[in-house]
Chains A and B, each alone.
Chain A
């Protein structure tokens, strides 16, 4: 229902809000499917950060969608064909929650049975993300790093000069907002640290923690003033943070190479396998957290400092 509303409506502001609701609903579905980690990410990224980023973009453009000049026939046809293929594909798929489905029979059982013993991490999702498929996660951090660079490259050309006062997103004249937000920010940051370092045991990890941490600073920027946040994070500080998180992740891999193991084989980091895994996962998650935090703040600042085209 929400998705249909989004497709039909023309008021972009309302669409963004509906997207937030859509993400929260999706997160709810994920929870009911027992995928708590995914739900957590969806709520933090889909409903949280991306809503803020799209809103900052809206501040630069107009609120109403322009009438499309293209014919609507071709897109509709593509969507219908894609949808039909998807439905066709589901006709034969293994039944929902069937324990005999291939997904539950082949690779997953080893993760479920041995992850704790092999990696010492009770949260299997973290074990798979940060150890078994750690190389993919390194790729994902690189994707975020790339996205950050792309946004900074695109928007830095349009940045307004510092003497131009007045900010669109500045809410500092609302006293209630300001005090409530100021009360909340320390707890948001504390919660982010908890998510970062407790990812081994409960849902969470570097991605979610980074986003929440960044959200704290973004909230601060919104209520106290963008320039205050900017004075904490200059462009070069953000660049250093973004690069160092990624380099920390790759660096762990290089160290394992030098110690004689395969790339990102944490076992060689300590004499005891579980201890080595513990260190490896801790360090790469820290790298993820740093890069994600810095990239999110960099994106937010880049968006909010763009000159509004006359």
Chain B
């Protein structure tokens, strides 16, 4: 009986835990409740991915009203995969959260901090699971409001400004998305995505549909931090508490990419989306610009958190570049990088949480010569950094490989050069950290100890995942290729492990 209700339990589990958190006080209880809710959600996501892989699309009607009259959840391999990414990152981050939060967030805020964290998780999961356009907006609001609150809790007073900046940009984005959905409803009289996909071709010639698409594209791009709409991201990631940076860097923008894919491929249809607007060219140009400008900006930062935030903007460039090829290998690269980039950035931001725990700051001056005092933390940064560069045996290599393959297929050799140049820039900024950590002598930090085990273990769990999924790619590549075929409406290869 339970297995048929998994789609809704996926979202409800963290949602129930959130108001319960508000009623608790003890740190250990709060942590236990949040962690078990997140872990439970992860198990459900894993089961859903198995189900979707073997038996195809799972539909769940909420309230017992059939779509399009009621709201429907539809789980296919695309969103089950994203659900798994979000819940896995959230669980590992929460595993380390207790110590870091106890240090960075005032005690009176703990209950509401955990509640906001779970609400943010609920929002992201709800956006991903639903097949109803308006329901996307509702859960987008939940995740946005809670992430504004989470970011504002950073110790630096500038966290408030960063959060406000994100609030303004995010609200514009959400409003644009709402306008787009409203126009679609006006044209078709329905909000269900499947139903929209069937009814939109009849009105494909209208100007209203074109402007609906434009509003949705710009709105989602704001949430996705697509260059040049990324200006909110560096500040938000820099001044948020470490745990929040790790969580958001691994999940929030990934879900935005998912929403973009969902609207382009299953609501509007790739044929429409890529013909009315020069979408391929736009995504390609903005992707390249993001890779070059954001990587260059990253090199000139002296706060390591900000450095990795700029690097995130660059990585989102690779992700959109993959979409622009409109080919199986391009989309596979995008989907792979969703997973792989989540692993890298979560690992790196967790390592920064370790640094922050001991040093109270993550500027270059804080880490001078710390490589000897905190060897495990620094090794985590090095391996995470190598994965960011795309060195073989790490996950970064796999996504870059598919991306270059996609570029070569279509004869874009300039793009191959740009991707490789981007890796070189990543090498430069990662090297700057290594240089400060290992080769720069400093007498100030001789009494600094290695970070506590409860922070190091989850960090290394992510670091090892970076290597594991860089070697054993059957899960990620299997799902990504299957889903890419399905998005392009080509006959899909059978997913590994799926029973026919």
A→B interface (CB under 8 Å)? 82, 85-86, 88-94, 101-108, 110-111, 131-136, 139-140, 142-143, 145-147, 149-150, 152-154, 156-157, 239-240, 242-244, 246-247, 250, 253-254, 257, 260-267
Chain A residues within an 8 Å CB radius of B16: 247, 250, 254
Contact between A89 and B207, CB atoms less than 8 A apart? yes
Shortest CB–CB separation between residue B173 and chain A, in angstroms? 12
User: Residues of A contacting B20 with CB < 8 Å?
Assistant: 243, 247
Complex-state Cα separation, A244 to B208, whole angstroms: 43
Complex Cα–Cα for A307 and B186 (A): 47
Interface contact B183-A104, CB-CB below 8 Å = no
Q: Which residues on the B side are within 8 Å of A82 (C-beta)?
A: 176
Q: What are the residues of chain B within 8 A of A111 when measuring CB–CB?
A: 69
Majority DSSP secondary structure for residues of B touching A: helix
In the complex the two chains form, what is the Cα distance from A124 to B212 in whole Å?
28
What sequence of 0s and 1s flags, for each residue 1-31 of chain B, a beta carbon within 8 Å of any chain A beta carbon?
Answer: 1000100100010011011101100000000
Nearest opposing residue in chain A for B152, CB measure? A154
Collect the chain A residues with CB atoms within 8 Å of residue B211's CB: 85-86, 88-89
Complex CA gap A254/B5 in Å reads 11
Partner of B152, one of A153, A240, A250: A153
Query: Which residues of chain B have C-beta atoms less than 8 A from A107's C-beta?
Result: 68-69, 189-191
Instruction: Contact check, A105 vs B189: say whether CB atoms are below 8 A apart.
Output: yes
Task: Name A106's contact: one of B5, B18, B68 (CB within 8 Å).
Answer: B68
Chain A residue numbers with a CB within 8 Å of B160 are 154
Residues of chain B with a CB closer than 8 A to A103's CB: 185-186, 189
Question: Does the CB pair B138–A92 fall under 8 Å?
Answer: no
In contact, B19 and A133 (Cβ under 8 angstroms): no
Kindly state the separation between the CA atoms of A134 and B199 in the bound complex, as whole angstroms. Answer: 24
A257 in contact with B135 (CB, 8 Å):
no
A132-B69, A239-B22 given; A142·B122 CB < 8 A: yes
If A103-B186, A267-B64 touch, whether A136 touches B134 (CB-CB below 8 Å) is yes
B146 touches A132 (CB 8 A): no
- Closest Cβ–Cβ distance, residue B158 to chain A (whole Å): 15
User: How far is A146 from B109 in the complex, measured between Cα atoms in Å?
Assistant: 14
Residues of A within 8 A of B292 (CB): none
Residues of A within 8 Å of B35, CB to CB, are none
Q: Which residue of A lies closest to B111 (CB)?
A: A239
B325 interfacial by beta-carbon distance below 8 Å: no
Given A145-B19, A260-B1: 8 more A-B contacts, CB < 8 Å: A93-B186, A134-B63, A135-B70, A149-B22, A149-B112, A149-B119, A154-B152, A262-B64
Q: With both chains docked as a complex, state the minimum distance between the C-beta of A37 and any C-beta of chain B, in angstroms.
A: 17
In the complex, whether B283 has a CB less than 8 A from a CB of chain A is: no
A230 to B108, CA, bound (A): 19
Chain B 175-216, CB-CB to A under 8 Å as 1, else 0, gives 010010001011111110000000100010011101110110
Q: Check A264–B190 contact: CB distance below 8 A.
A: no
Would B5 and A257 count as touching, CB distance under 8 A? Answer: yes
Q: Is the C-beta of B153 less than 8 angstroms from some C-beta in chain A?
A: yes
Residues of B within 8 A of A246 (CB): 19
**Cα distance A145–B16 in the bound complex, in angstroms:** 12
B149 interface residue, CB < 8 Å from A?
yes
B405 at the interface (CB under 8 A from A): no
With A85-B214, A264-B63, A265-B63 known as contacts, the answer to whether A92 contacts B208 (CB < 8 A) is: yes
- With both chains docked as a complex, state the minimum distance between the C-beta of A109 and any C-beta of chain B, in angstroms: 9
Chain A residue contacts of B206, Cβ below 8 A: 92-93
- B15 surroundings in chain A (CB, below 8 A): 142, 250
Q: How many angstroms from the CA of A107 to the CA of B196 in the assembled complex?
A: 12
Nearest CB of chain B from residue A87's CB, rounded to whole Å: 9
CA distance A28 to B455 in the complex (A): 57
> In the complex, A108→B69 CA distance in Å?
8
Cα–Cα, bound, A253→B138 (Å): 18
Chain A residues, CB < 8 A from B87: none
A179 to chain B, nearest CB (A): 38
B115 contacts chain A at the CB level, 8 A cutoff = yes
Q: Are A139 and B149 in contact, with the CB atoms below 8 A?
A: no
> Are the C-beta atoms of B19 and A242 separated by less than 8 Å?
yes
Report how far A63 CA is from B76 CA in the complex, Å: 53
**B104: CB under 8 A from chain A?**
no
Q: Mark B140-180, 1 if CB is under 8 A from A, else 0.
A: 01100110110011000000100000000000000010010
| Contact A143 B138, CB 8 Å, known A150-B146, A150-B149, A250-B16 | yes
Q: Could you jot down 29 A-B contacts, CB within 8 Å?
A: A91-B208, A92-B206, A92-B207, A92-B208, A94-B187, A102-B187, A102-B188, A103-B185, A107-B68, A107-B189, A110-B69, A132-B69, A136-B134, A142-B15, A142-B122, A146-B146, A147-B145, A150-B148, A153-B116, A243-B19, A243-B22, A247-B16, A250-B16, A254-B16, A262-B5, A262-B8, A263-B8, A263-B63, A264-B63
Choice from A89, A244, A250 contacting B183 with Cβ under 8 Å: A89
Question: A266 CA to B63 CA in the complex, in Å?
Answer: 7
Residue of B at shortest CB range from A137? B138
In the complex formed, the residue of B with least CB distance to A263 is B8
Tell me the complex Cα distance, A264–B8, Å. 10
What chain B residues lie within 8 Å of A104 (beta carbons)?
189
B429 on the A face (CB < 8 A): no
A136 touches B135 (CB 8 A): yes
A143 to B119, CA, bound (A): 9
A101 to B1, CA, bound (A): 42
Contact B60 A139 (CB under 8 A): no
Least Cβ–Cβ distance between B486 and chain A, in angstroms: 26
**The residue from B106, B113, B145, B152 contacting A146, defined by CB atoms under 8 A apart:** B145
Q: Is B308's CB within 8 Å of the partner chain A?
A: no
A139 partner, pick from B65, B135, B207, B214, beta carbons under 8 A = B135
- Determine the chain B residues whose CB is within 8 A of the CB of A265 once the complex forms: 63-65
| Residues on B with beta carbons closer than 8 Å to the beta carbon of A152 | 112
A143 to B126, CA, bound (A): 13
Residue contact A131 to B63, C-beta cutoff 8 Å? yes
A-B interface, 8 closest residue pairs, ranked by CB to CB distance from nearest = A265-B64, A89-B211, A106-B189, A139-B138, A243-B19, A150-B149, A102-B189, A92-B206
Beta-carbon nearest neighbor of A262 in chain B: B64
Set of chain B residues within 8 Å of A142, measured between Cβ atoms: 15, 18, 119, 122, 142
Q: B240 CB to closest chain A CB, in angstroms?
A: 13
**C-alpha spacing A260/B1, complex, angstroms:** 8
Query: Which residues of chain B come closer than 8 Å to A240, judged between CB atoms?
Result: 23
